[in-house]
């Protein structure tokens, strides 16, 4: 029997109608806030790199849902994430969002701002400056890394400058600390009412840390000393699982000291960057997600400083 030339097309059309057209469904972050302390809700990101699969959902975002309204700490990697976060908050509480605090300027923490453009967005002055200088370039890079999830995302700058001190919100006493180790302007928040420390990216947990804007490992370690001296009973790292002890802090400090030692020793024996990037990674860090990837990045960010400290003047400018 001769087939009608259009028959295969008709069959495919029927199949498509039965099983749905193969159009790309709008990506969905499926954010699920979970309560970790009184009024305190965590939206935990994955310990992965940015990818087209995760849409940049690799970051820990927190909100305080109080009778006086909601305070959000960081807004996530994209407009779509910010909107999903706002919808997730609305599933938890009827109280309106009153305020947003940003821990630092990195794109995974601030590119959801558009969804909160109707409330004050506050950050350290240094964070606002870094966002103004680098926000667009970082957003552009995020489009390259996670693709369509970013659609419609634009940088919204903070409209309020935070000073270190105490911020009262909905019955919580929030101590704001202006630190610098991760980006030069890092806000850490200690909720003195609940004992929860929101460390931003000054603390990574079970995920290799990132160093693109650090003023230096010494500055970062000094910040960790300060955080370690505070009284808290629960720590929310910027990336990775929360903890009731100082394990994440110690892991972060341990990793930073290892980086510092590795770069110092490599520079002293005249190693070039590729050799440093291939340095053996101690077992305790080797299994951290993205260990090699982040060592390669950190070598790029930091090793020139260690080389520079080693080099002597061989010839002055003529």
Partner 1 sequence: MRVTVCGTNCRAFTKMCRPTDPSLGRATQARASRGWRRFAVLVLAALAGGAVSAGEPDPLGSVMWDYHHERLLEGRPYVFDERVKVMAPPFAEDARQVPIQVDARALDGQIERVLLWADLNPIPRIAVFQPGPEVAPLLAIRIRVEQATPVRAAVLTRDGVWHVGSSRVDAAGGGCTAPSVVRAQPGWEDRLGQVLGGRYPRGEQSRLRVQVSHPMDNGLVGDIPEFYLNQAELRGADGQPLATLELFPAVSENPTLTLQLKTDQPAELWLRDNNGNEFQAAF
Residue with Cβ nearer partner 1 (157 or 296): 296
Task: Encode burial over 129-147: b for 16+ CB neighbours within 10 A, e otherwise.
Answer: bbbeebbeebbeebeebbb
Token reading at 93: 């509480």
CB of 299 to partner 1, least distance (A): 8
What do you get for the CA distance between the two ends of the chain, in Å?
90
CB of 47 to partner 1, least distance (A): 19
Return the bridge partners of 240, or none. Answer: none
Residue with Cβ nearer partner 1 (2 or 269): 269
DSSP one-letter code for 119: S
Residue with Cβ nearer partner 1 (233 or 278): 278
**Residue 38 contacts residue 66 (beta carbons within 8 Å):** no
CB of 298 to partner 1, least distance (A): 9
CB of 314 to partner 1, least distance (A): 4
Residue with Cβ nearer partner 1 (18 or 315): 315
Neighbours of 314 (CB within 10 A): 5
Could you list the residues that contact partner 1 (CB under 8 A)? 141, 144, 212, 268-270, 272-275, 277-278, 296-297, 300-301, 304, 307-308, 310-318
CB of 311 to partner 1, least distance (A): 4
Residue with Cβ nearer partner 1 (17 or 313): 313
Q: Which of 126, 28, 116, 37 is nearest to 74 (CA)?
A: 116
**Residue 256 contacts residue 220 (beta carbons within 8 Å):** yes
């Amino acid at each position: 029997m001769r087939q009608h030339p259009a028959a295969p097309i008709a069959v495919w059309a029927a199949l498509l109608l039965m099983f749905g057209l193969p159009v790309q469904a709008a990506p969905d972050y499926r954010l699920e806030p979970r309560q970790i302390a009184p009024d305190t809700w965590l939206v935990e990101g994955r310990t992965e790199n940015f990818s087209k699969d995760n849409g940049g959902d690799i970051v820990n975002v927190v909100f305080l849902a109080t009778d006086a309204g909601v305070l959000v700490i960081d807004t996530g990697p994209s407009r779509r994430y910010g909107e999903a976060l706002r919808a997730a908050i609305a599933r938890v509480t009827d109280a309106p969002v009153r305020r947003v605090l940003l821990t630092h300027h990195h794109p995974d923490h601030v590119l959801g701002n558009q969804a909160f453009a109707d409330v004050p967005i506050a950050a350290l002055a240094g964070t606002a400056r870094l966002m103004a200088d680098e926000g667009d370039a970082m957003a552009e890079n995020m489009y390259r890394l996670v693709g369509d999830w970013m659609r419609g995302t634009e940088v919204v700058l903070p409209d309020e400058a935070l000073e270190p001190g105490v911020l009262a919100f909905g019955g919580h006493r929030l101590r704001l600390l202006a630190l610098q180790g991760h980006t030069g302007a890092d806000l850490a928040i200690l909720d003195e009412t609940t004992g929860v420390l929101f460390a931003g990216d000054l603390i990574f947990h079970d995920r290799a840390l990132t160093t693109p804007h650090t003023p230096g490992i010494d500055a970062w370690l000094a910040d960790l000393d300060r955080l370690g001296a505070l009284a808290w009973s629960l720590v929310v790292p910027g990336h990775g699982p929360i903890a009731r002890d100082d394990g994440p802090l110690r892991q972060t400090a341990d990793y930073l000291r290892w980086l510092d030692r590795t770069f110092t020793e490599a520079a002293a024996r005249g190693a070039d960057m590729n050799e440093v990037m291939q340095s053996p990674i101690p077992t305790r860090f080797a299994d951290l997600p993205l260990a090699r990837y982040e060592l390669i990045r950190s070598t790029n960010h930091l090793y020139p400083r260690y080389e520079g400290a080693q080099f002597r003047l061989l010839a002055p400018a003529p």
